[in-house]
Structure 1
Amino acid sequence: MRPSCSGTPASSSTSCAPGSATPIPEGRTVPIYDYVCGSCSARVEWLVPSWASPAPECPACEGPTSRRPPAPAIRRGAAPPVARSQAPRSWEGVGNGDREVITNWRRALDVRQEFERRHPEYAEHQEAVAAHEGVFERRPLTYRELAERATGTNDANQAAADAVRARTPGAPAVE
């Protein structure tokens, strides 16, 4: 005898997916699918036995629902697209100029640019770098910082020297 899924399940070893008359055996994984109602636009998630299962009725208005792609599929994966800072910066990094490698990186960076346009909170901060070696390896000296340091003296060399002293542990303080 097959357990009924209307109301309470017949035994503790089975449960029913909402909107389904098919019992789900204990220990079996059942996917959650997203549905949207065609009448009232309500969005719901249902546990259904398989992709081929019929779409359940809307719990709010009992109208017809249709399955939506899951959120990770909409964003092309659970993680944001590859960042520009992860792109290769050398000839060797692009496979010695391999067109296929370059094309793949261009496409990936175009996807990232569109992603950042839609989600500005994920945009990488970019500034022109004046120095990035030595004491500036971990925190590059940007032209903006250099200009701010040179505001009082109008001397970029003195401003760069001040930035070196500021980043060097144990260096005398700038007066």
Structure 2
Amino acid sequence: MPVYDFACACGSRFEMMVPSWSSPAPDCPACGATTARRPPSPAMHGRAAPPPSMASAPQSWEGVGSGDRDTITHWRRTVEARQEFESRHPEHREQRDAIAAHEGRFERRPLTYRELATRAASDGNATRAAAEASRERRTGGAAEPA
């Protein structure tokens, strides 16, 4: 039996299972008057928001309340919900690159392995490439000469 929403002139609103749409509306449980069906609530129309993006997750120890269990549990569940959402809806998958460095000069803009490989492609020297990226972040623009 489907569940329908009903409203009464007295202001009472309630849900009730009835055999079908053509079944008569039940009397109001509050005042006993005749009721009328009302449109279902918006939640019944499938409006939903996706879980927060992975970019909104904390990136530091301080971001998880210095290890607060409740905060860590909340974010673990949030990330798992996002991963499950992305597995069902690949068109919403976010690009996530592995991080090579995230402290010091790289705190605000982490150095990804993709960026490191691109910088080191010419001579294969990852150490030089990381130093170049660090100099660039320190100056806020183009890399300084080595």
TM-score (norm 2): 0.52
Partner of 1:30: none
Matches within 5 A, 1:71-82: 71-72=46-47, 77=48, 79-82=49-52
1:50 corresponds to which of 13, 38, 56: 38
Q: Cα distance 1:173–1:91, how it changes in 2: closer, same or farther (>3 A)?
A: closer
Q: SS of the counterpart of 2:100?
A: strand
Distance change in 2, residues 1:172/1:162 (3 Å): closer
Match of 2:54 among 84, 87, 90: 84
- What is the DSSP-based 3-state SS (H/G/I as helix, E as strand, rest coil) of the residue aligned with 2:129? helix
The equivalent of 2:124 in structure 1 is 154
Shift of the 87–170 alpha-carbon distance from structure 1 to 2, 3 Å rule, reads closer
RMSD value, Cα: 3.6
* Higher normalized helix content (fraction of residues): 2
Q: 1:172 to 1:104 in 2, by over 3 A?
A: closer
2:64–2:72: 8 Å Cα contact kept in structure 1? no
The 2-side partners of 1:115 and 1:125 are apart by 14
Question: Aligned pair count?
Answer: 107
> What CA distance in whole angstroms lies between the structure 1 residues aligned with 2:141 and 2:108?
17
Aligned partners of 1:101 and 1:166: how far apart in 2?
34
Q: CA deviation at 1:96?
A: 4.3
Kindly provide the CA deviation profile for residues 38-95 of structure 1, in whole angstroms up to 9, marking residues without a partner as x: xxxxxxxxxxx7148xxxxxxxxxxxxxxx93121xxxx3x32122333345377268
Q: Secondary structure at the match of 1:69?
A: helix
Which stretches in structure 2 are left out of the alignment for 5+ residues? 1-36
SS at match of 1:148: helix
* CA contact 1:131–1:140 (8 Å) conserved in 2: yes
The one-letter code sitting in structure 1 at the alignment partner of 2:130 is: A
Residue 142 of structure 1, CA deviation = 0.9
Sort the Cα spacing of 1:81 and 1:139 in 2 relative to 1 into closer, same or farther, 3 A: same
User: What amino acid is aligned across from residue 64 of structure 2 in structure 1?
Assistant: G
Show the counterpart of 1:140.
110
**2:102 and 2:83 mapped to 1: Cα distance?**
25
Tell me the equivalent position of 1:22: none
Q: Is the 8 A contact 1:95 1:101 kept in 2?
A: no
Q: How does 1:112-131 map to 2 (within 5 A)?
A: 112-131=82-101
- Report which stretch shifted further, 161-170 or 112-121: 161-170
Residue 93 of structure 1 aligns with an amino acid whose one-letter code is V
